[in-house]
Amino acid sequence: MGITVSKPVLAILCIIFGVLIIVVPQLLAYLLGIFLIIEGILLLTEHMELQKQQQPQQSQPSQ
User: In the chain, where are the structural domains located?
Assistant: 5-54
* Helix (H), strand (E) at residue 9: helix 7-23
Q: For the stretch 10-40, what's the b/e string if a residue is b when 16 or more beta carbons lie within 10 angstroms of its beta carbon?
A: eeebeeebeeebeeeeeeeeebeeebeeeee
Is pTM beyond 0.85 here? no
pLDDT in tens, 15-48: 999 999 999 999 999 999 998 998 888 888 888 8
Cβ neighbors of 63 (< 8 A, separation 6 or more) are none
- Which pLDDT does position 11 carry in this prediction? 85
The answer to whether 14 touches 52, Cβ cutoff 8 Å, is no
Report which of residues 57 and 50 the model is more confident about.
50
pLDDT at 59 exceeding the cut of 60: no
Using the Cα atoms of residue 49, residue 53, residue 55 and residue 59 in order, give the sign of their dihedral: positive
